[in-house]
A and B are shown apart, each in its own frame.
Chain A
């Protein structure tokens, strides 16, 4: 069955505020929830001088938490990702529900061992003795002239590791619901925030709610082609679909939301209707979310396909600095439109 996730409530808040509200509510509901990271509050150690929450997070997603929950539960860390991400994993396996923030996913190399060899494997290696209810919040996304070490969208690598889960919210509603699910989940989950989404607003219920991990949603119904978007690329896919609609082409747009597990059934069902698939993915293409989805669709609903499962992704290069090149690097509306037309032989 297709699960179309419905937005309830009418109050509009920003993506950034939705994250903040979720963290606050989960910390209120469960005293085992703690959060740590660089600049989570900011100005650490200067409380006597009246400094509190100098930054409230590099993108202000954690603002106000330290005032409400104190510095035992809201911890500013030094630049020591291997140590504090590892400590959050250790804390999560010994009774806390730790949330740790890696400022940008590009820095994952510094702490990858802790995620891959500890968080992902402890439960399995220990024969099920332990749960690791750990959430890592991190940031992805190019398009800001921030060059190769601050712009990557590494989510597929996490999906590759058995033992880790991952989600990519695309709007304020999914941000709150999915982050709540991450924090309450008993497995380690990575929550990917696209830098280009913080300012977008949308209706978000005030009360806490959970959107299930592992579920995609359909954000536009259509009959001709299925476009699967991930994170901000869902918006690119939607914009392309709106343009194409003017020419009488009807795209169905699926917002993937979860990169591990992947909601193959939801995608298959759509492809069975449209007979065509394009994955729009900001990550690089080799061994990627896009290649994974294309190959599963080819395997599982081959007989329904009228065209090869296709991809619009970044090229197999790092992210260039100059806008002149970065604009070409990013998947955009035009590329999606051209690919749709190609599949339809137009």
Chain B
């Protein structure tokens, strides 16, 4: 698929919004004492951006603990996300979930997820819904190189393959699961090699190049929509920071390695490719950066001014139907 001017600008806008969200939102969340569950996806922006540009709000994605980028690329409002990170009632999860559980069903966003691998079969299930309802929707399961060693991925790929489900397995290989290098944890040279075992195409792409991700995703989405079944895509990428803010990555990887990947920064690469083509100027892209920066300012303000959930909201949404009294019966709660 050829991207028009609008499509190109939109890719950049998504990437810069993700970058600004991570660079601003994570320290701000830390300052509010809520760092425990936050993982930055800075460096990996091209992957969700290239994939989700092929999806509409009606399609589904399942995400990971490192899911801010997936949310933004799928159209979740960064202001609401910031409120969720700050534990505010205005977050999409009403402060119940935080960074590791952001979800927005109106955008087909089936949640970031704290249990590695756990969201993969949810995406498979969403693809099953689409197949049964014959509505043409597709689902994408984002997961990491670490998650690729979980049994649930393998069972999910097999299931999706025998049922020819419209699902794309998208592995973001950022080289590490916490401090464990993927070359240690993954038995094959590439995660994408594993597609063979489940009779589906396995595509390996440069995850720092949004156009490469976009093209591979377009192919996989077309195959899924045509009823031909699942695809496994592996995008080679890199997380710029530690696993969480508490991790110093230089204890297991080198400065040279970080510099090497930062030199291939997805936003910079985009500029290097697009600006010389003449249609889009550096000033236009600078403006998108400035807009993203302003949006984060607004998001932080919105989140700070939003109310905290009332303590009694603790009992809301455990079930659709269940007496609250039964949840606190006999245990001497204060609220």
With a cutoff of 8 Å between Cβ atoms, the chain B residues found around residue A328 in the complex are: 311-312, 314, 333-335
Known: A110-B115, A311-B332, A313-B331. A321 touches B96 (CB 8 A): yes
Known: A311-B331, A335-B332. A149 touches B146 (CB 8 A): no
**B309 interface residue per 8 A CB criterion:** yes
Could you give 17 example pairs across A and B, Cβ below 8 Å? A42-B178, A43-B179, A46-B181, A76-B184, A147-B98, A147-B114, A148-B114, A149-B114, A315-B331, A317-B327, A320-B95, A321-B97, A321-B101, A323-B33, A328-B311, A334-B334, A335-B332
Check if A335 sits within 8 Å of B318, measured CB to CB.
no
C-alpha gap A287/B310 in the complex (Å): 28
C-alpha gap A15/B185 in the complex (Å): 30
**A203 interface residue per 8 A CB criterion:** no
Check if A325 sits within 8 Å of B95, measured CB to CB.
yes
With a cutoff of 8 Å between Cβ atoms, the chain A residues found around residue B251 in the complex are: 42-43, 51, 54-55
**B313 interface residue per 8 A CB criterion:** yes
**B177 interface residue per 8 A CB criterion:** yes
Check if A80 sits within 8 Å of B151, measured CB to CB.
yes
Check if A316 sits within 8 Å of B327, measured CB to CB.
yes
**B13 interface residue per 8 A CB criterion:** no
With a cutoff of 8 Å between Cβ atoms, the chain A residues found around residue B263 in the complex are: none
**B100 interface residue per 8 A CB criterion:** yes
Q: Within B65-121, which residues are at the interface with A (CB < 8 Å)?
A: 84, 87-89, 93, 95-98, 100-101, 113-117
Known A311-B331, A320-B309; 6 more pairs at CB < 8 Å: A106-B114, A144-B36, A148-B101, A322-B96, A323-B34, A328-B314
Known: A44-B180, A79-B149. A324 touches B310 (CB 8 A): yes
**B226 interface residue per 8 A CB criterion:** no
Known: A42-B180, A147-B100, A147-B101. A312 touches B332 (CB 8 A): yes
Q: Within B304-335, which residues are at the interface with A (CB < 8 Å)?
A: 308-315, 318, 326-328, 330-335
Check if B95 sits within 8 Å of A321, measured CB to CB.
yes
**A96 interface residue per 8 A CB criterion:** no
The 8 residue pairs across chains A and B that have the minimum distance between CB atoms: A322-B87, A149-B114, A45-B184, A322-B95, A43-B252, A321-B98, A78-B149, A54-B252
Write the chain B residue with the least CB distance to A109: B115
Of the residues A51, A321, A325, A327, contact of B37 by C-beta under 8 Å: A321
C-alpha gap A82/B147 in the complex (Å): 13
**B188 interface residue per 8 A CB criterion:** no
C-alpha gap A46/B180 in the complex (Å): 9
Q: Using an 8 Å CB-CB cutoff, how does the interface string of A58-77 with B read, 1 for contact, 0 for none?
A: 10000000000000000010
**A329 interface residue per 8 A CB criterion:** yes
Classify chain B: how many residues form its interface, as a range: 35 or more
Check if B179 sits within 8 Å of A55, measured CB to CB.
yes
With a cutoff of 8 Å between Cβ atoms, the chain B residues found around residue A310 in the complex are: 330, 332
Known: A110-B115, A325-B314. A149 touches B149 (CB 8 A): no
With a cutoff of 8 Å between Cβ atoms, the chain A residues found around residue B181 in the complex are: 43-46
**B150 interface residue per 8 A CB criterion:** yes
C-alpha gap A332/B251 in the complex (Å): 38
Task: State how many angstroms separate the Cβ of A83 from the closest Cβ of chain B.
Answer: 7
Of the residues B115, B311, B330, B333, contact of A335 by C-beta under 8 Å: B333
C-alpha gap A285/B149 in the complex (Å): 35
With a cutoff of 8 Å between Cβ atoms, the chain B residues found around residue A10 in the complex are: none
**A338 interface residue per 8 A CB criterion:** yes
Check if A321 sits within 8 Å of B87, measured CB to CB.
yes
**B286 interface residue per 8 A CB criterion:** no
C-alpha gap A324/B181 in the complex (Å): 38
**B183 interface residue per 8 A CB criterion:** yes
**B186 interface residue per 8 A CB criterion:** yes
With a cutoff of 8 Å between Cβ atoms, the chain A residues found around residue B312 in the complex are: 328
C-alpha gap A324/B327 in the complex (Å): 18
Task: State how many angstroms separate the Cβ of B212 from the closest Cβ of chain A.
Answer: 26
Check if A325 sits within 8 Å of B313, measured CB to CB.
yes
**A339 interface residue per 8 A CB criterion:** yes
Check if B116 sits within 8 Å of A79, measured CB to CB.
yes
Q: Using an 8 Å CB-CB cutoff, how does the interface string of B292-314 with A read, 1 for contact, 0 for none?
A: 00000000000000001111111
Check if B96 sits within 8 Å of A315, measured CB to CB.
no
Write the chain B residue with the least CB distance to A279: B331
